[in-house]
Structure 1
Amino acid sequence: MVLSSPVLMPSRESAMVIWFSGLSHRGGLIRSSPIGALSHLAWSAIVFAAPCLGSVVALSTANQHTGTYRHRNCCPTVTSMVRGALWTDQSYYNGASIVESPGGCAVHVVLDTDTVDPLDRADYVHEAMGAAMVSVEWQWIDDAPAAAHGVISRLGELTVCSGNTSARRVERTPALSRDGAEPTVFINLQIAGASAVVQGGREATLRPGAMAMYDSSAPYTLHSNQGMAGEFFQISHSALALPTDVIRRACAASLAPGHPLTSLTFEHLCRLASDRTLFGTPQADLAARPHIDLLRAVILTHLGTTDKAAEPLDNTLSLRILDYAGRRLGDPELNAESIAAATFISVRQLYKVLADADVSLAEWIRTRRLERARHELAHGPATVTIASVARRNGFTDMSSFSRSFRAEYGVSPRQWRADHAASADHNRSVTQR
């Protein structure tokens, strides 16, 4: 759902926009500016980027006579980390989309320069990405307008950016690396083509399937003649929980090339980036930790400290079990025995690992199958029968599927499909007016 409902905005002369620059409420920078002093593009960047990252965004209407401020937070429930959407007139966020999660929180930021005047696109990308991730300098492919298309999402302490740009060079300069932002690392997954990462006197050339890391607290440069593209994962130093000197030793290098753990992690992170159903759910914070553990294990394996890599690898066993199960939900024969055999553990150990993670395997499989079926019924072609949808998602008995679906969602599969078809027709008619 794209939030585009207008609200009454305070006057640009009497209002301040306040935002929290940083990955969390810890270690970021409080910044504020009069709305009138913000460029159109800067306002756009702050409004659509900050909610994705759990940043505090508030409008503060100033009383010029008393010097007091009245703040309106962007989310009705303010927790230790605010996640919410600032509902604003379309003109303010200038073509960018804030996408709402099923729970009502904005967890995805969609960046699309096709909606921006070509003369403004370079500034748009510069300000938007600076607000959403870190500030960098961009150099664009000659004789081509600046272009960027992608999605930035937050999963607990993990920020995921998927997309492509026409930038041939991205540089975090020495001055920018001292801008006071919370230190973070980026993991770059090279999907296609080639690119290079330069940092700390080292340079790594990346081919498809390679992973590399670089550190925002030190200068770095990214190069690609075809334009920068791929999957990028941002993690704070504190969440990665590795000493700075260890992080620096692993930067600007292809991480553990050819190692099975690298391949497993690469494939898993690609699937995470392509299927963001966990983002914005109550389980998001818990789900992020195993991914970070996997990345830590890859880094330590690359550095040759296999003894230290063993612990995060053990910690990700439940993730790898559920990852295997999640990729085979359509198999009606999926069970504990087949999963245990595929992950080279006993059934007894499988149940113990999942119990420690507070996961019931049968319930987890049933719930994920229902979620996939619900999504297909809402968004798939109406010509596909409900029975086909059920079978494709591992249900062999139609009556059992219907009972489980009604118990989980309160309506029958047929009614769910009809309700969403009616909603889609209504949205189309509103758009055409």
Structure 2
Amino acid sequence: MSKPIVAVVGRPNVGKSTLVNRLAQTSDAIVHESRGVTRDRSYFDAEWNGRAFTLIDTGGIEPMKSDDVFSASIRDQALAGAEEADVILLVVDGSVGVTEEDESVARMIKRVRKPTFLLVNKLDNPAREDERLWEFYSLGIGDPVPISAVHGHGTGDLLDDVVALFPDDDGLEEVDDGSLSVAIIGRPNAGKSSLFNKIIGTERSIVSDVAGTTRDAIDTVVERDGRRYRLVDTAGIRKKSTVYENIEYYSMVRGLRAIDRADVALLVIDSSTGMTEQDQKVANLAIERGCALVILLNKWDLLPDDHAREHVMETVARRLTLAPWASYLRISALTGRSVEKIWKYIDAAAEARAAKVSTSSLNRLLTEMREFGHTVVDGKRRLRMHYVTQTGTKPPTFTFFVNHTDLVSDSYRRYVENRLRKAFGFEGTPIRLRFRSKDTKPKEE
């Protein structure tokens, strides 16, 4: 049995994301005073009195005649979230009263025919909240519930009532579904959402040629050949100097959080511009967080000739000097070229990231390295490596026990990593090297 779903809906700027953050006890939902900040529907885990459920934060529903280029798509995404939910929370702004937009949204939600709570938000003074409630009865949703998402007034009683509507949870258990988490990352407008939709075969993300369209990270689970993949389409990660709106900064933070929980990162690069410095920084973010990495050279079909294609590959080689192990694939998210091959690359990178090497094999390699004689010398001190063992996976982590840890230079680390990769592979995944004093007792992680 899956967890119950609660959708938070309403017109723009009534405090939906603030309420989501309050109920989920998180700060992941983007909050900003601008209209239309939340565009796609986003999912958050929440729990109340031992009952786990999923919150959906939806975009602000605007009138049918809105001038906003995204309004129709946002409205469709919000209504899809409402259809998916077991309970709907319709949020209105108590500080301004009923608006035509509220009436329009209420009519749409009533057609969904799901249990709905009408939440009158921004009533920050409980002593005077009754003065503003009466007019909201006109929406025909039922008794208005006064709350303050900012201060938390009324949210506890609300959750009590919401949880009471959930189906019986007998036999409901939180289990790891074993899915492989794959984050689609990259600069804005590189084609991430187009690729995301091509992979899953549905318009799950809003696709537009306006950079920065995806402002939230959203998940979709796909099953192929008996294996489950959790795909995360993230907001484009911009240079800080070009983040003119605070909401773009928060989107970048959400993208980084998506990387934090990913097993494999698909870095989508716009081949028409090649791999840029910012692409390199995004790749480094994924590597630092231990993600396996696959480089997808998107829009490859748009390159006019061999010279242009060679230029792109030169930019990749130049920008990935610290990660030559990353695998790459030339694709077109628009036409579908080589998109099917992505799964093979994901599987291979994930397998390398989870790989385990026996201690005996590692120490045979260590013996060969000692016999080769390459080491570090500082005056009378010489670096000696006595023993190595694998102390972690995802990514593979190796601990070397040495006589002088301070002698381990960056160049020597690279030498050791290259020897490990030559001997055992690890294509597509970063590896971690740790050096400990020889009297430190080995401990398997």
* TM score, norm. by length of structure 2: 0.28
Structure with larger Rg: 2
* TM score, norm. by length of structure 1: 0.28
